[in-house]
Amino acid sequence: MSKRDYYDVLGVEKNATEADLKKAYRRKAMKYHPDRNPGDKEAEASFKEAKEAYEVLADQNKRAAYDQFGHAGVDPSMGGGGFSGDASGFGDIFGDIFSDIFGSGGATGRGGRRQQARGADIGYKLDLSLEDAVKGKQVEIKVPTSKTCDICHGSGAKEGTKPTSCQTCDGRGQVRMQQGFFSIQQTCPNCHGSGEVISDPCNACRGEGRVKHTKTLSVKVPAGVDSGDQIRLSGEGDVGQRGAAPGDLYVQVQVKPHPIFKREADDLYCEMPISFASAVLGGDIEIPTLDGRLSLKIPPETQSGKLFRMRGKGVQNVRTRNTGDLYCKIMIETPINLTSEQKDILKNFDESIHAGGAKHNPQEGSWKNKIKSFFDDLVT
């Protein structure tokens, strides 16, 4: 009998995230686990099926093989990754799933004591000009964060004292509780997982082992970054409680609007207004680029909206190092504040143009023909 599609088994789409997979498997496991359905062979089979699907889809390599070759890509008899198939061996997956529900997860040190959680990751928004984002820059930023307390050196205890072992959990940081069919380890409510309590906290940090602090950092912004890109500075986040490792700092780039250029991916766009006479007669105009001025030849009879492409004058991609292009859009400017003499000249010019028929204004003539045809069809 052929196996069901793993995505259908868990009830998720093929683009499901790791969190979606875990949530779907947790729901199936809670429903079909043998401890909750004693003697029910169908429930046991459904549990095994869900476990098999989750084991494959939660592993990036197995999932890639499954997406490309189906069940054959993960069948051990055909060289695939395979599946254990034993409902009793669910500790590493099922246990991890249920730790999310009951809060018993977290790294533990020797003797079962839970290790202090690393400090929190923090974010910083960095506003950059387009020029700095394209060319790269070394910038200094001031980041509000935390640092290890200088008085207690991160212990959280008042000077001359030290933390004592928690009596509630015997220093393990976790307590065991019975919930229905399951015996579950929970974070100790007294010491919050540290395995230690502070009876006489440090006055400077109030037992936290850390204090608020603003630090100055130098950040190297690589050439080609764009809005939404992040620069990670490892270990520059918040300090963990009581001497635990610090988190990371994520500098998020935000490129400010530019008065001339608009960026789309690795390409730059600008609009260049020119006079009616320049568009008709053609000629050379000077356009700006991020590298300086550039001469652009405008052919005679250029129409408004014409797009000119300058290869390699865009942005160098921060990852591929390929360089985009610059696109210049011609906008013919209508003259304003004309004198009577100038208006008379334009009237005479317009009359001479229309006297020549559609050869001077082909688009206008085509448009008028379409309008005439449209109204003729309405009448008939």
Q: CA of 226: how far to CAs of 53, 166, 251, in Å? A: 39, 50, 12
Q: Is 117 exposed, middle or buried (0-12, 13-18, 19+ CB in 10 A)?
A: middle
Q: Are 187 and 116 in contact (CB under 8 A)?
A: no
Angle between helix 60-69 and helix 41-57 axes, rounded to 10 deg: 100
Torsion of CA 176, 177, 183, 186, to 10 degrees: -60
Q: How far is CA 375 from the centre of its chain?
A: 53
Predicted confidence at residue 76, as pLDDT, reads: 59
Q: Look up residue 210 and give its two tokens.
A: 């850390």
Burial group, residue 336, by CB count within 10 angstroms (0-12, 13-18, 19+): exposed
R_g (Cα) of the chain, nearest Å? 35
d(CA 95, CA 264): 46
Using N-to-C axis directions, what is the helix angle for 18-32 and 41-57, rounded to 10°?
170
- Give one DSSP letter per residue of 89-115, joined into a string: --HHHHHHHHHHHHT--S-B-GGGPBP
What is residue 380's predicted lDDT score, i.e. its pLDDT? Answer: 63
Residues of the chain short of pLDDT 50, as ranges, are: 78-107, 109-114
Set out the domains of the chain in order of their start, with CATH numbers. 6-102 (1.10.287.110), 122-255 (2.10.230.10), 262-333 (2.60.260.20), 348-379 (no CATH)
Beta pairing class for 174-179 and 182-187: antiparallel
DSSP string for residues in 196-211: EE-SSB-TTTTTSSEE
pLDDT digits (tens, 9 = 90+) for 210-240: 889 899 999 999 999 999 999 999 999 988 7
Distance CA 183, CA 174 (A): 13
pLDDT at residue 80, rounded to an integer: 45
